[in-house]
Chains A and B, each alone.
Chain A
Amino acid sequence: MLPESAELVFFAAFALAFAFVFAPAAAPRRSLLWRGGAGLAGTIAIVAVPTFELVLLTLLTLGVLNAAADGKQPFALRLRAPVLAVAVFALGLVLARAAGPEVLDRFAAVGLVAGLAAGIGLLPYLHPFDPDDAVTGSPIAWMAFIGPALAVVVAGTRGLVPAEAGGVFGAMLIGVGLLNVAWGGVAAWLTESTVAAWRYSFIADWGLALCGFGLMVVDGRRAALLVLFSIVLCRLPLYLASPQSQRARTVTERPVNLVVAAALAGSAPFAGFAARVLLLRGATQLFWPLGLVLALGMLLWLPGSLRLGRSLGVPRGRQALGVALVLALNVAVGLYPLPLLEAARL
């Protein structure tokens, strides 16, 4: 098991515990525990199994179980993305393992990146989404819970393709990442539904993580790990702490809303800021115009984050405690991320 994978399992377990303790009182705790526990078990299986075939079988099983569970969308529709991901991964793996011309390795890289995007639910393979879906059955929970473990495992399979195709693999990750940064950032700002805005903000964050994985320098991996941290232990808990009902949503502009918006936007001193600095440094080492494009893309977080911060309302009681805990954790990691990175041997 990769050290970063073990860290991600720990993050996921912490997020589940947070959801159980601090989610709004209306949230069904029993369903949260069962389905969250199943998701956590799946995450552990994805990072712990020794072969990529077993990773694919785990992903397939999780996808089928998730599609079969309660939800607004039909089973067939919810099943399509995970099956597509597994099929594309499998075809990529066949090409990666076969001997033949060099172009096969490039197609294998395409299969791995396309499978990753479909498996997480990123552009161009967005999972079907209904704002009224329960949190546990929503693609948001999938991409924040299962997605990080899958991404780390797939990024670790870079060795499956030769070094020449490894460059293609990285370039495609960066391309797909930039697409998600742009689309997610603009959509989180302009979409009508607040729940959909939360979903697009996750997609934008994922874009940064993919860019980090795509950079062939250690700063890129470090940035990706910190972005995943901020997805699992900043954006997800804040999403869970926000009122889940459309009717219950209120727009407030208290200082706490601005602080939450700053955390979501990746401002200093939160963890997202350290991730962005490392990402820009890595991109500049590789190809400086990429750093410029990323810096421009990062500006797209501002309007969407202000909107999401305001949608949180004024947290009270248990929720206020949860929000404070998340913000404190993110400040700590943002100011001193070294222990987290050293634990992942990065």
Chain B
Amino acid sequence: MFEAGAALVAWLGMSLIVLADGRRSLALGAALATTGVALVVFQGAGLIDAGALALGGAVMVVRRLTDGPVGWQLMPPGSTPRLVLCIAAGLLALWIAFSVTTGAGAALRFAVMTVVGLGGARVLSSDERSVLLTSVGLLALAIAAMAGMGDASQGAWPYVAAALVAAGAGWLPVRAPNAA
């Protein structure tokens, strides 16, 4: 039950990122998604792995609070398709993770599928740098969380690498397109 709750927190955070454009909303969404993923990983992998993800996510959240469009900008006009996407993606992931697939780790599957699906969709639909880099950071955390699905232990490397990607992505200098 605890894992399922954590996975729902991850979905809520990703939904916030999909539905908002402002830095505060993005930071809150990233914090929720990171917390959800880290808690699910904590149940399966352990404290160090989950801690690495949480640390990477925390650095990303701090950076997000200081960079990007100001304010919340939650559900700006024309957000209905985004809302439908969040609900539909959540239901589809829930169905696949808890009903179609079997075995332990359903919450982890749900968390990974929602973060990867919604993060990928956000990158495909946005032009705003802060939104893109937040989605990339969360995508990295979700990929590391997949290490918990394998039969063999992969050590802490995927989690540490994902934390570095998530933490570093926010500081990436992006040049304007050279159209000359």
Contact = CB atoms under 8 A, between A and B. Distances in A.
A and B form one complex: yes
Interface of A: 50-51, 53-54, 56-57, 60-61, 64-65, 67-76, 79-80, 83-84, 86-88, 90-91, 93-95, 97-101, 104
Interface stretch (B8-16, B26-34, B66-74, B113-121): B113-121
Interface string B96-116: 000011110100010011001
29 contacts: A50-B154, A51-B147, A53-B146, A54-B157, A54-B161, A57-B161, A57-B162, A57-B165, A60-B139, A60-B143, A70-B178, A71-B178, A74-B127, A76-B123, A76-B129, A80-B124, A83-B135, A83-B136, A83-B139, A84-B120, A86-B120, A86-B143, A90-B112, A90-B139, A90-B146, A91-B116, A94-B112, A98-B105, A98-B149
Given A76-B123, A76-B127, 4 more contacts: A51-B157, A60-B143, A68-B173, A91-B116
Contacts of B149: 93-94, 97-98
B84 interface: no
Interface of B: 100-103, 105, 109, 112-113, 116-117, 119-120, 123-124, 126-129, 132-133, 135-136, 139-140, 142-144, 146-147, 149-150, 154, 157-158, 161-162, 165, 169, 172-175, 177-179
A70 B175 CA distance: 6
B112 A83 contact: no
Dominant SS among interface residues on chain B: helix
Contacts of B113: 91, 94
Contact of A79 (B100, B132, B154, B158): B132
A76 B175 CA distance: 11
B68 to A, nearest CB: 14
A104 B175 contact: no
B135 to A, nearest CB: 8
Given A57-B144, A75-B174, A97-B150, A51 B119 contact: no
A84 B124 contact: yes
Given A60-B139, A70-B178, A83-B139, A53 B103 contact: no
Contacts of B175: 68-70, 75
Nearest to A51: B154
A23 B140 CA distance: 36
Contacts of B117: 87, 91
A307 B124 CA distance: 36
Contacts of A99: 101-103
A-B interface, 4 closest residue pairs, ranked by CB to CB distance from nearest: A87-B120, A98-B101, A100-B101, A99-B103
B100 A100 contact: yes
Contacts of B143: 53, 56-57, 60, 86, 90
B102 A64 contact: no
A100 B102 contact: yes
A71 B124 CA distance: 19
Given A75-B174, A100-B101, A104-B101, A64 B139 contact: no
Contacts of A70: 175, 178
Contacts of B158: 51, 53-54, 57
A61 B137 CA distance: 10
Given A71-B178, A87-B116, A99-B101, A60 B126 contact: no
Nearest to A89: B143
Contacts of B161: 54, 57
A98 B120 contact: no
A94 B124 CA distance: 21
A309 to B, nearest CB: 31
